Structure 1
Amino acid sequence: MLRRRHLVPAVLGLVVIGTVAWLLRPAPEPVSTATVERGPLTETIEEEGRTRVRERYDVSSPVAGWAPRVTLDPGDTVAAGEVLMALRPLPASALDPRARAEAEAALERARAALQAERARLEAARTSARYARATYERLAGLRIDGQVSRNEVERAEAEAERAEAEFESARYAVDVARQEVAAAEARLQYAGRSETPDEVPVEAPVDGQVLAVHHESQGVVAAGEPLLVLGNPASLEVVVEVLSADAVRIEPGMEVRFHRWGGEESLPGRVRRVEPSGFTEVSALGVEEQRVRVIAEITAPHSRWRGLGDAYRVEAEFILWSAEDVVQIPENALFETDDGYAVYVIADGIAQRRGVQIGHEGGLDVEIREGLSEGETVVLQPSRTITEGTRVMPIGQR
């Protein structure tokens, strides 16, 4: 009886002590959480870009003379061979032997450039035919299921690129032909006692007027720029990216153009990454080394007809993409001596777990090892959370 009498108070004391300890224990830490998911993930680089007409042609005065007022305005359409203005040449001074030799050399250079552009045109024509034939062949095999859709899309993009290069080469031949005509005119009219009444200035290519350099009438020197012509359908996008990002961008890489004014994004491809960079001071006064990346719009011109020269767009370069990736929000990670880790919630307790990360896609990051789909992780873990800390989810992404 004595032992039982002492046992009851002891048990009651332990109960009281346990109750007090339970009441005095720290309250659970409120945390925001996210679920480990599996789905598509894309790693991108986003920068601001400017459109630029690829085929730009400066129309200059072939001789010194009196130019009338230009009646053309930016946006007006001209045809190849159309007379843009008629110059009234000034009496030409006689060329000394050195000046005549220079004029003759300039004419020979212009003729050689014309021959080179003609050869490039034939090469571009052959490439365009081959690329188009390859696309049509693969498109037929796609119907039978012998090739993948990606192969057909790559062949189609290559065919469109080759055809654009052919158009560029054709314009270049027209311009080179006009350069030869201008060089011949300089040599022909120089030193002549009789001066022609008018010297016509013709449009080298079909296109639109992009800029007017000499709008008012007046005297112009030989070679002075008068107009700038271009083909608005041959737009390209110039994007200045950080040099650390430029090394990850390659020709042929997919690009998406956003916030250009239309409702949908425009697809595109990288055409060239320039080999040299330049230094630019940011708005915060920080010197940045940047590189120009030239991309082209692969969507039909009818979808972006409203875009013009020097318009602003947002370019998103697709560095990597996958359809089935284990991923979590990036702000669930924290650095450790061994790499990265997260806090996983199990039965209301935070458990620290090391993870191996992969590609980063915007706000999410790929998890290669350490987590499974469906687990819950803590977002933005504070320093008060450690291994074994009781947590209380207050919100979930």
Structure 2
Amino acid sequence: MHSIMKWRARIGILLTGLVLVAVLVWGFLPRPVAVEPAGVSRGPLTVTVEEEGRTRVKERYLISAPVSGYLRRIELEAGDTVSAGQPLAEIEPRRSDALDPRSRAQAQAQVHGAEAALAAAREELRSAAAQAALADKALARAESLHEAGDISDDALDRAEAEATRSRALREAAEHAVEVARFELETARAVLASHGTTADGELFSLQAPADGRVLKLLRESAGPVQAGAPLLELGDPEQLEVVVELLSTQAVQVAPGTRVRLERWGGDADLEGVVRVVEPAGFTKISALGVEEQRVLVIIDFSSPPEQWRRLGDAYRVEARFHVWEGEDVLQIPASALFRHDGGWGVFRIVGGRAQLTPVEVGRRAGLTAQILSGLAPGDQVVSHPDDQISDGVRVEY
């Protein structure tokens, strides 16, 4: 009896050990890795390029001052409708500057000085006239005496020279009076003109075409220089969309490319078509301080005008360019792809295990990638593979 109990105890210990060993072996066996599967399917695929753009009036006119002068107040307001030939602004001749008390006193002193100079010149003229008259009388007497033989030829010559010199002095005095008179008139004009409007015709600026006032750059009256911008005109019903694409994106876009205009504030998206891809790019600094090469792309609306009539000049829109489209494309989520041997690979799920499968990738559209070879419709692949996934690893989902 004692022997039987010993054998039972040994058998119990042995069974317990076997159970512990089985538990340890089971615990250390590799467990399947939980994954998120993704299916391989066929369907339509559209490759797009997205970028922010803005609307722009096609034909805009910047009205500038053609001459310097004094601008009268512009009565137009932004949004007003104008017709071709309608007066937009008027420019008067330049006004004189107002004098301060010191300058006015100086101008008055110059007037008084010019008046005194004119009076002195007139007195000089009287004196020169008297001298010329006396010289003429002396010459007449000398000629009479010379005919009678009472004076010599030299005396007659001196009398003629004195008469000629006196007449010349009289003429010079007459010119001096005229100069003094002009100087007085100039001084009086300077004193009278400051702070007043110069006489002259108004210069009227007219609208070059029918349209509306887009911007009023100058409204108040005041001095204006030639070339100063005053206002902008255009027709808001003739709109286009301007988008600044990266040069690497612009090469994928061509005239005729379809564009969907989104998030512009309306209830439905708008349709457009690329009219021009400008041939020259430009450098622009991004918000992160990075230099980027950008290219302007011009889009025309293809939606009916009544759908986008609420848009105006320089309104924001989101442009989605359809650069490529396919109706029956084999595709998978782009998150399933990873680099492998210089190409691309995926983990295909076969019999509960991950199988490394090289694939050839075509075009990408956001979160979706086109598969050219390596997979078939209906296959399952691991989406978002991590370091726990390798070739042959058991997976579960």
The TM tier, using the shorter chain, reads 0.5 to 0.7
| Structure 1 residue corresponding to 2:204, chosen from 200, 204, 222 | 200
| Structure 1 residue corresponding to 2:56, chosen from 39, 52, 56 | 52
Q: Please give the per-residue CA displacement for 1:325-346, whole angstroms capped at 9, x wherever unaligned.
A: 1110001001111411111112
Partners of 1:225 and 1:338 in 2: CA distance: 59
2:237 counterpart of 1:233: yes
Query: Residue type matched to 1:232 in 2?
Result: P
Partner in structure 2 of residue 67 of structure 1: 71
Partners of 1:80 and 1:300 in 2: CA distance: 27
* Per-residue deviation, 1:223: 3.9
Partners of 2:259 and 2:93 in 1: CA distance: 50
- TM-score using structure 2 length: 0.65
Partners of 2:59 and 2:383 in 1: CA distance: 51
Partners of 2:366 and 2:238 in 1: CA distance: 31
* Per-residue deviation, 1:372: 1.3
- TM-score using structure 1 length: 0.65
Label 1:223 to 1:15 Cα distance change in 2 as closer, same or farther (>3 A).
Answer: closer
Note if contact 1:63-1:223 (Cα within 8 Å) is conserved in structure 2.
yes
Partners of 1:225 and 1:293 in 2: CA distance: 27
| Structure 1 residue corresponding to 2:92, chosen from 88, 95, 98 | 88
Query: Residue type matched to 1:287 in 2?
Result: E
* Per-residue deviation, 1:20: 6.8
Partner in structure 2 of residue 42 of structure 1: 46
2:378 counterpart of 1:371: no
Partner in structure 1 of residue 253 of structure 2: 249
Aligned length: 279
Partners of 1:62 and 1:16 in 2: CA distance: 102
* Per-residue deviation, 1:287: 2.0
Q: Please identify, of 308-317 and 276-285, the stretch whose mean Cα deviation from structure 2 is larger.
A: 276-285
Query: Residue type matched to 1:270 in 2?
Result: V
Q: Please give the per-residue CA displacement for 1:307-366, whole angstroms capped at 9, x wherever unaligned.
A: 111111111111101111111000100111141111111221111111111111111011
Q: Please give the per-residue CA displacement for 1:157-213, whole angstroms capped at 9, x wherever unaligned.
A: xxxxxxxxxxxxxxxxxxxxxxxxxxxxxxxxxxxxx97643332211111111112
Q: Aligned-pair RMSD on alpha carbons?
A: 2.6
Partners of 2:378 and 2:28 in 1: CA distance: 33
Q: List gaps (5 residues or longer) in structure 1.
A: 1-13, 92-193
Query: Residue type matched to 2:380 in 1?
Result: T
2:390 counterpart of 1:390: no
2:320 counterpart of 1:320: no
* Per-residue deviation, 1:90: 4.7
Partners of 2:229 and 2:290 in 1: CA distance: 37
Q: Please identify, of 19-28 and 74-83, the stretch whose mean Cα deviation from structure 2 is larger.
A: 19-28
Structure 1 vs Structure 2: percent identity of aligned residues? 51
* Per-residue deviation, 1:268: 1.0
Partners of 2:26 and 2:354 in 1: CA distance: 19
Matched position secondary structure for 2:279:
strand
Note if contact 1:326-1:368 (Cα within 8 Å) is conserved in structure 2.
yes
Q: List gaps (5 residues or longer) in structure 2.
A: 1-17, 96-197
* Per-residue deviation, 1:220: 2.6
Partners of 1:62 and 1:287 in 2: CA distance: 39
Matched position secondary structure for 2:35:
strand
2:305 counterpart of 1:301: yes
Note if contact 1:90-1:195 (Cα within 8 Å) is conserved in structure 2.
no
Label 1:23 to 1:213 Cα distance change in 2 as closer, same or farther (>3 A).
Answer: closer
Larger radius of gyration: 2
Query: Residue type matched to 2:62 in 1?
Result: D
Q: Where does structure 1 differ by over 4 angstroms across 4 or more consecutive aligned residues?
A: 14-23
